[in-house]
Amino acid sequence: MRAALAEAERAALSGDVPVGALVLDEDGTVLSAGHNERELTGDPTAHAEVLAIRRAAERLGSWRLTGCTLVVTLEPCTMCAGAIVQSRVDRVVYGARDEKAGAAGSLWDVVRDRRLNHRPEVVLGVLEQECAALLTAFFRER
């Protein structure tokens, strides 16, 4: 999670909401990293999770990220939750809860919806205070 926090800090440098993500393989090796780049690129889908998933799939040469873990500083939104399910990530680890847009247990629970064909394990609250503090400081400055 500390590496994801470092990614989140990079997002803030370009005016993006400070969210960072990593994809790890089964052995815990970092396959990819990403941070929000919506402001930087003008791409509404450039969320940290989506970028990290895309880069991991490219590195593995497969869209199936079976056995992988996504580590992210903020609870994924519905778009990112959909990407998680579609990419077959096995585990999602996140820091801060997102009561306004979270789709991994807070507002919705897309990633564990029994109607879907894939449901990753969810681990929440890892370094939650640090992750939340980064977001709070960013929005206070705005």
Catalytic residues: 49
Contact call for residues 48 and 34 (beta carbons, < 8 A): yes
Please give the helix or strand (H or E) that residue 81 lies within, else none. Answer: helix 78-87
The DSSP code sequence of 55-109 is HHHHHHTSS--TT-EEEEEE---HHHHHHHHHHT-SEEEEEE--TTT-TBTTS-B
**Token reading at 111:** 């990633």
CA end-to-end span of the chain, whole Å? 25
